[in-house]
Amino acid sequence: MEIAIIGAGAGGLAAALNACHHAHVTLYERNSRAGRKLLATGGGRCNLTNRETSLSHYHGHDINFTENIFRHFPPTKIEQIFADLGVETVVEDHGRVFPRAGQAAAVLDNLRLYLLHHGVNEICDCEIVKIVPQKRGFTLYSAKNERFSADKVIVAAGSLAAPNVGGSDKGYHLLESLGHTLIAPSEALVQLKCDSPVLKALSGQKFEGEATLIIDGASVRKETGEILFTDYGLSGLPILQLSTHAVRALNCGQKAAVSLDLAPEYFSDEFFRYLEKRQALRGDIALEDFFTGFCPKRIGQQLIKAAINTPLSRSSSSLNKKELELLSFLAKNWLFPITGSMGFKNAQAALGGIALKEFSFDTLESLLVPGLYACGEVLDITGDCGGFNLQWAWASGLFCGMNAVCTLDE
């Protein structure tokens, strides 16, 4: 029996891993090599998975699918599978799991070696542009007018995100051509463009703090960590985590902004008292150095300009109570209206994709085309940063591979 897997990224490789023991498997990859995006994940270290599987880390219209699939392939199972392949792992902060070797190449190389040893055929530079269901099985057509046959087909062609490492909309088009519904994709886990006069002066500055996403005046999510100012807006892990919701809100015509807290360890009244104490201790210095030692000097200077618009040459002791209150408030609530994002080119993932309601909850087989399966980013599931998207790719791929071979003789 022949199983065709379209896309040799994380999901496709995982599907092949589970299918290759019971069928002949061919991976069709439109790029020049398998796993290009995998090599770029986790800053080249490959954040394999995350020990935390709460549904709150996933987004889409049918995220309950993740709960079912993760029962079969939880993060600990993914870790064990890779250990069996020779990839030892370490668990870092916030449950993030990385290969012990610290290299994504170690993951990809061991996967491909195993698949090659078990007879999996890998055809690169081969873009499948059409899938035609037959009375028995499928005929696949490539962009070079090549024709291939398969009993089952698994579409694992990824999303629009990160086109520089292979992201595209090809998988969407293949499944749409077979009657499936595309939920319009938007960029996720991406830097945000903001409207603020301080950005040019603060470009390149970063700090540890808290970012709150505000949509139509309401706080919807908070994230803490290192936040980076850029000439176009904001970046850093907390911003990427918020971006999924921010971009969706903008696409729906809502107003979105990020509120930055430079001192999340303080309540508002505590921080005001802290500034009073700081003024008493440092009253003899100019305002340009008032925050030096608390936050990066340039950030402190721009905060003062934005809050009270006064010469930085003033003595800190000259600040009155009202000015201290304004400084305290802005340091805890520095608002940056969001105007957009840096687009799919810079996005790590895409929100949206092919509707999961058109696939079996129990097998991920298409409810419209028997023998057709889909997994990974091409579907309407998006995870947060931290290994959640790879957990979905591995687990859904393994799930598809398992179920495709289970029904080969039916």
**How many other C-beta atoms can be found within 10 angstroms of the C-beta atom of residue 19?**
30
Residues whose CB falls within 8 Å of the CB of residue 324, separated by 6 or more in sequence, listed in order: 272, 275, 276, 279
Q: How far apart are CA 68 and CA 361, in angstroms?
A: 8
275 is written with which tokens? 């500034």
Strands (E), 115-205: 121-123, 128-133, 138-142, 147-150, 152-155, 182-188, 192-194
Flag whether the pTM goes above 0.85: yes
Name the maximum alpha-carbon separation found in the chain: 86
What was the pLDDT predicted at 407? 61
Q: Say if residues 8 and 124 touch (Cβ distance below 8 Å).
A: yes
Q: How far apart are CA 240 and CA 265, in angstroms?
A: 22
What was the pLDDT predicted at 50? 97
| Helical residues (DSSP H) of 55-169, grouped into ranges | 64-72, 75-84, 104-117
- According to DSSP, the residues that pair with 4 across neighbouring strands are 26, 153
What was the pLDDT predicted at 42? 82
143 is written with which tokens? 């962009």
* Cα dihedral 241, 247, 250, 252 sign: negative
Instruction: Average pLDDT across each block of 10 residues of the chain; the chain has 410 residues. List them in order.
Output: 97 98 97 92 91 94 96 97 96 95 94 97 98 97 97 97 93 98 97 97 98 98 98 98 96 98 97 96 92 96 97 95 98 98 96 98 98 98 96 98 78
As a whole number of Å, the CA-based R_g of the chain is: 25
What was the pLDDT predicted at 40? 87
* φ and ψ at residue 167, rounded to 5 degrees: -65, 140
- According to DSSP, the residues that pair with 221 across neighbouring strands are 213
Query: What domains appear along the chain, each with residue ranges and CATH number?
Result: 2-186+352-406 (3.50.50.60), 191-342 (no CATH)
3-state SS assignment for residue 307? helix
What was the pLDDT predicted at 408? 55
What was the pLDDT predicted at 410? 45
Residue with the two structure tokens 């499944």? 175
What was the pLDDT predicted at 43? 84
**How many other C-beta atoms can be found within 10 angstroms of the C-beta atom of residue 163?**
15
Residues whose CB falls within 8 Å of the CB of residue 392, separated by 6 or more in sequence, listed in order: 58, 66, 69, 376, 381, 383
